[in-house]
Structure 1
Amino acid sequence: MLEIMLSAVALAAALVVRPWRLLRGPLLGPALAALVLLPWFWLLPQKLPAGMAVQFSGASLLVLMLGWPLAVPVLALVALAVWAIGGTSAEAVLSQWVWVGLVPATLALAIGAALRRWLPPNVFIYTLGRGFLGTAVALFASGALYEGIHHLMGGVTLHEALVARWLMAWGDAFLTGLFAAVFVAFAPQWLATWSDERYLRPPAR
């Protein structure tokens, strides 16, 4: 019930601003690429041995590229593709969408807003803060919430699960930071959250 409520509220909040209007510009390519590639990364846990499986989220990178309102429905379509291609139940796919996609994306949005509010507009703040460290914090916090809830519901080995979540978060953070830096240098039009005027303007004297 918690996951249904979170997904419904987030999807409604995202769609109310009509984010599909952004697809008329250069963001159509990144959105389509996410729909093609990301389901296969989300299917990895089904192909690996049972236990704490490796999981790539990509939610923080999508927030940087598409913005939160467009990233949410794109992640929902990714989850639908995982359900259609994979062999898990709708309940498992819903849980994956919420805790691997929706919650990390929302936390990445909050971290980005905090960095914009409290730190100076700098390209390194964007790539390292939002792309690298922000992703690590968002993914770990989302994983910790998931493990904490399931531990309260009867899960085991919470400490080991948190250690695994912490390590996996850094893998996602490395890739997100890398792609953010590459896109800033070579394809800034693919980053809805990037602004040359904000991050590259000379400091005021």
Structure 2
Amino acid sequence: MTLPNHLIPPLLAGIGWAAAAISVLWAVRAAPWEALRSAPGRLNLVVLAVPFLLGMWSLNATLMPGLTLHFLGAATVTLVIGLELTLIAGLVAALLLPLIVGGGLAIAGWTFVLSLLVPAVMTYGITRASQRWMPPNFFIYLFVGVFLSAVLGVIAHGAGTALLVMAMGLYDFDIIWNNYLRVLPLLAFPEGVINGMIMTALALVSPSLVISFDDHHYIDGR
């Protein structure tokens, strides 16, 4: 989402930035810094996550000011580097996005919350639940942890964006439904497919790069 600063009510901007700050402060405290120090090569993945997210978010189609369709990529990043590091990389991407595609920084907190925090937490929760309650099957990992979480992340992102623009008084529900929510499924399925293709390649070619995937657990002996 890109909007000029004057269209964002200060209270809403503050709420978005507060949510972003709280989540990233938690991520900084909980991040596996010791593991990164022992495997510095993984730090490259965290750094690469920033341009990856920026690239996904920059590929957008603006339906109306404030209502933009774009890929998220949050599911892939979360599955590869973990939730905590994803939040840190995502905040950097949200701060850099206005410099690339325009808009003000007032909305950047909500960009982080809706484009990264919500889908990343959903991906983490769905994947952990599937690992705990479902059989250790590679296709379950791909369909539930990767594809389904990416699709639901897009839907949650779209619903949150719709509520936010209504709270700002930009559009009423009928306009949002007819011009945005009705076409949202056209993005949700490709998001799942793209995330599925990337994660399939990583899991099969270099499973050690994917923190959420254990090839001994999912593949060996099956």
**Could you say whether these structures have the same fold, taking a TM-score greater than 0.5 normalized by the shorter chain as the test?**
yes
Q: Is the 8 A contact 1:72 1:102 kept in 2?
A: yes
Instruction: Give the equivalent residue in structure 1 for 2:162.
Output: 147
CA–CA distance in structure 1, aligned partners of residues 19 and 132 of structure 2: 26
Instruction: Give the equivalent residue in structure 1 for 2:11.
Output: none
Instruction: Give the equivalent residue in structure 1 for 2:42.
Output: 27
Larger mean CA deviation between 61-70 and 21-30 belongs to 21-30
1:39 to 34, 40, 54: 54
Residue 152 of structure 1 deviates from its aligned partner by 4.7
Does 2:185 align with 1:172? no
Instruction: Give the equivalent residue in structure 2 for 1:158.
Output: 176
Instruction: Give the equivalent residue in structure 1 for 2:205.
Output: 186
Return closer, same or farther for 1:143/1:172 CA change in 2, 3 Å cut-off.
same
Q: Which amino acid aligns with 2:83?
A: W
Q: Which amino acid aligns with 2:81?
A: L
Q: Which amino acid aligns with 2:176?
A: L
Return closer, same or farther for 1:50/1:134 CA change in 2, 3 Å cut-off.
closer
CA–CA distance in structure 1, aligned partners of residues 101 and 33 of structure 2: 27
CA–CA distance in structure 1, aligned partners of residues 35 and 177 of structure 2: 42
Instruction: Give the equivalent residue in structure 1 for 2:20.
Output: 7
Instruction: Give the equivalent residue in structure 2 for 1:123.
Output: 138
Return closer, same or farther for 1:22/1:43 CA change in 2, 3 Å cut-off.
farther
Does 2:77 align with 1:58? no
Unaligned runs of 5+ residues in structure 1 are: none
Instruction: Give the equivalent residue in structure 2 for 1:105.
Output: 120
Instruction: Give the equivalent residue in structure 2 for 1:132.
Output: 147
Residue 50 of structure 1 deviates from its aligned partner by 5.3
Instruction: Give the equivalent residue in structure 1 for 2:217.
Output: 198
Q: TM-score, normalised by structure 2?
A: 0.80
SS across alignment from 1:75: helix
Larger mean CA deviation between 27-36 and 52-61 belongs to 27-36
CA–CA distance in structure 1, aligned partners of residues 131 and 95 of structure 2: 33
Q: TM-score, normalised by structure 1?
A: 0.86
Q: Which amino acid aligns with 1:8?
A: A
Return closer, same or farther for 1:90/1:132 CA change in 2, 3 Å cut-off.
same
CA–CA distance in structure 2, aligned partners of residues 7 and 133 of structure 1: 25
| CA deviation string 1:79-120 (max 9, x = no partner) | 122133342100122221111111111111111122122211
Unaligned runs of 5+ residues in structure 2 are: 1-13
Among all aligned residue pairs of Structure 1 and Structure 2, give the percentage whose two residues are the same amino acid: 25
Return closer, same or farther for 1:21/1:91 CA change in 2, 3 Å cut-off.
farther
Which has a greater percent of strand?
2
CA–CA distance in structure 1, aligned partners of residues 59 and 214 of structure 2: 34
CA–CA distance in structure 2, aligned partners of residues 135 and 43 of structure 1: 18
Larger mean CA deviation between 90-99 and 17-26 belongs to 17-26
